[in-house]
């Protein structure tokens, strides 16, 4: 029996506020949550795989500009709102929420988002498809991104929002360090940050104290996340 248990992957989330004791309104400080998955993910880099296991683990650490709600409509996550789209449907202007932090303490900027989306365009199957019609993507200021298409493409926003293989945002220097191979430094913006991975044993994360969730309630793959409960 023990051997079967060790074959499962234990995803360990060390968090400061966990379990609900007597009242659903109060959470208990401290604790460890262990979740057993049925296999080891091939990578923790969502840009390089659409495998469900990669998404299940990675979604705790990484976030994209957008995600999908329960009706599979795009909703903003790191973006402040849905993009402004030009009348000819060729130019998408995306503004980031201010005050966002990476797990390494650095501010999230448009330069990070541009570098990440470009890397996604080279590494992800969704990204490669979209980038066939991308003329350019650039940072217009610290928090503003401009994406230009060569022709209108109705799936652009949905592709950016895909939970598996989606355009998750990494620090610019990480994108430059791993331009065409799997990331080995797992730094994102999600409610939990990476600590350690021992393949076939466990993946350990801790609560990210500076996490900044969106204001609206959880909905599908998007909405408010919390590392407190």
Which CATH number is 135's domain given?
Answer: 3.90.76.10
Condensed to tens digits (0 to 9), the pLDDT of residues 190-204 reads: 999 999 999 889 999
Smallest CA-to-CA distance from 212 within 111, 93, 114, 107 is with 107
Cα separation of 208 and 186, whole Å? Answer: 13
E strand spans, the chain: 9-14, 17-18, 28-29, 32-37, 66-68, 74-76, 84-85, 91-95, 134-141, 144-149, 192-198, 202-207
The predicted model gives 75-80 an average pLDDT of: 97
Q: Is residue 212 part of a domain?
A: no
CA distances from 58 to 20, 37, 137, 191 (A): 25, 13, 25, 11
Q: Is residue 218 part of a domain?
A: no
Q: Is residue 200 part of a domain?
A: yes
What does the pLDDT read at residue 10? 44
How many structural domains compose the chain? 1
- 13 band by pLDDT with thresholds 50, 70 and 90: very low
Q: Is residue 110 part of a domain?
A: yes
- 224 band by pLDDT with thresholds 50, 70 and 90: confident
Q: Is residue 229 part of a domain?
A: no
Domain containing residue 115: 2-207
Q: Is residue 213 part of a domain?
A: no
What does the pLDDT read at residue 28? 61
Q: Which has the minimum average pLDDT: 3-7, 95-99, 121-125, 177-181?
A: 3-7
pLDDT, averaged across the chain:
87
What does the pLDDT read at residue 39? 85
Q: Can you tell me whether residue 150 is helix, strand or coil? A: coil
Q: Is residue 112 part of a domain?
A: yes
What does the pLDDT read at residue 34? 84
pLDDT at 42 over 50: yes
Q: Is residue 220 part of a domain?
A: no
Condensed to tens digits (0 to 9), the pLDDT of residues 19-34 reads: 334 444 455 656 788 8
Condensed to tens digits (0 to 9), the pLDDT of residues 46-61 reads: 999 988 889 889 989 9
């Amino acid at each position: 029996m023990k051997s079967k248990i060790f074959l499962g992957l234990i995803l360990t989330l060390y968090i400061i506020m966990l379990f609900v004791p007597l009242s659903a309104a109060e959470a208990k400080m401290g604790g460890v949550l262990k979740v057993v998955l049925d296999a080891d993910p091939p990578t923790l880099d969502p840009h390089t795989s659409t495998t469900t296991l990669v998404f299940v683990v990675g979604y705790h650490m990484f976030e994209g500009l957008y995600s999908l709600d329960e009706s599979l409509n795009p909703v903003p996550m790191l973006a402040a709102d849905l993009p402004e789209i030009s009348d000819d449907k060729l130019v998408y202007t995306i503004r980031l929420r201010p005050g966002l932090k990476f797990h390494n303490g650095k501010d999230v900027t448009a330069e990070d988002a541009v570098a990440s989306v470009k890397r996604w365009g080279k590494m992800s199957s969704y990204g490669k498809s979209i980038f066939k019609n991308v003329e350019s993507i650039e940072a217009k200021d610290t928090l503003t991104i401009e994406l230009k298409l060569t022709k209108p493409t109705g799936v652009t926003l949905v592709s950016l929002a895909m939970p598996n293989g989606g355009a998750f945002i990494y620090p610019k220097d990480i994108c430059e360090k791993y331009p065409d191979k799997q990331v080995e430094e797992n730094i994102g913006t999600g409610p939990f940050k990476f600590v350690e991975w021992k393949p076939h044993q466990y993946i350990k994360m801790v609560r990210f104290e500076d996490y900044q969730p969106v204001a609206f309630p959880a909905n599908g793959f998007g909405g408010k996340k919390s590392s407190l409960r």
